[in-house]
Amino acid sequence: MHDLDWRFLVAALTLQLATLACRAGAWRNVLAAAYPQQRLPVVSLGCAYAAGMALNAYLPARGGEGAKVALARAQIPGSGVPTIAASLTVLLVVDAVFGASLILALWATGVLPELPSNPGIGFLPVAAGFVAVSILALGLVAHRSRTALRRFLSSAARGLAILRSPSRYARTVLPFQLGAWACRISVVWLVLEAFRIDADLGTVLLIVVFNGLSTAVPVPGGAGSQQILATYALQGVISTAAAVSFSVGFQVGTTVLNTTVGLLATMLLFRTLRPRAAARLALARFAA
């Protein structure tokens, strides 16, 4: 720890806060397009977003997204779960497009390291099985409850309203998302500098994309997968041990910051100075 440059770490933590603020702002504006007749609370929705981000570190497969939906629904009278959930997918899909574009650019420029032999063995059968089961489940739901399905789809479509107005999306959402990506890239670069790791822009971008991919793994916070992907991204730059050390330090620092901000946001949301009470109320709202 004595080899760390704490100046870079402080700057990284500051930009991580900016990342949260940008993403919360983007989400609020997506919701504003879904509920144009209502005045949506900026602070309360920001707190809901921060609380969900904190829970993502402890719940598998981004389970904190459900907490965001539950907490936001309580702040928007007459809102529906499908609408709010769909609003989150706008951010996730656009992030996926950005990430895929970066991967393609890195691949086209030869930045991606060579994959280990047989990297995805067994993945395709599992993915195909998952898709088949999902289609079957949706078919059963559609057959048994067509009216409920139509109501659900109508509500979900409302959450995607921002996409029907490209100009509004470009003015009110895209700048926040681009700002969040710029902050994320800067955070990774600053943490690498703090660990005294000399990496080029391509490696930084690869780590940013991989960190996002690791959260999709059904393990709280993407633990383990983040270290594997970081080792892959940093091969040829530093040793495996140093790559794991960097990844663990990065994940712990981000988790501590997100947890602290999320807990403070939850306390503000429920107007209590007791952290445990705030956490219990948030979990109760999520369970409901």
Query: Could you read off the pLDDT of 158-190 as tens digits, one per residue?
Result: 999 999 999 999 999 999 999 999 999 999 999
Give the span between the Cα atoms of 184 and 20, in whole angstroms: 10
- Which band of pLDDT confidence, cut at 50, 70 and 90, is reported for residue 144? low
In this prediction, residue 142 carries a pLDDT of 54
Better-predicted residue by pLDDT, 280 or 40: 40
Q: Is the pLDDT of residue 45 over 90?
A: yes
In this prediction, residue 25 carries a pLDDT of 96
Q: How far is CA 83 from the centre of its chain?
A: 18
Strand partners, 235: 238
User: Tokens in use for 198?
Assistant: 């000399």
Q: Is the pLDDT of residue 56 over 50?
A: yes
Give the span between the Cα atoms of 175 and 167, in whole angstroms: 12
Please choose, from the candidates 57, 58, 53, the residue with its C-alpha nearest in 3D space to the C-alpha of residue 92. Answer: 53
The length of the chain in residues reads: 288
Please choose, from the candidates 85, 47, 80, the residue with its C-alpha nearest in 3D space to the C-alpha of residue 65. Answer: 85
In this prediction, residue 230 carries a pLDDT of 84
- Which band of pLDDT confidence, cut at 50, 70 and 90, is reported for residue 280? confident
Better-predicted residue by pLDDT, 201 or 283: 201
Contacts of 200 (CB under 8 A, 6+ apart): none
Give the span between the Cα atoms of 213 and 95, in whole angstroms: 10
Of 62-66, 120-124, 158-162, 243-247, the range with the lowest mean pLDDT is: 120-124
User: Can you tell me whether residue 238 is helix, strand or coil?
Assistant: strand
pTM of this prediction exceeds 0.75 = yes
Give the span between the Cα atoms of 199 and 113, in whole angstroms: 13
pLDDT digits (tens, 9 = 90+) for 203-233: 899 899 888 777 666 566 556 778 888 888 8
The torsion angles phi and psi of 40, rounded to 5 degrees, stand at -85, 135
Of 55-59, 154-158, 182-186, 242-246, the range with the lowest mean pLDDT is: 55-59
Domain ranges of the chain: 6-287
In this prediction, residue 192 carries a pLDDT of 93
pLDDT digits (tens, 9 = 90+) for 5-39: 889 999 999 999 999 999 999 999 999 999 999 99
Better-predicted residue by pLDDT, 68 or 153: 68
The DSSP annotation for 152-182 comes to HHHHHHHHTGGGG-HHHHHHHTHHHHHHHHH
Better-predicted residue by pLDDT, 143 or 9: 9
pLDDT digits (tens, 9 = 90+) for 90-138: 998 888 888 888 888 888 887 766 554 444 444 445 445 545 545 555 5
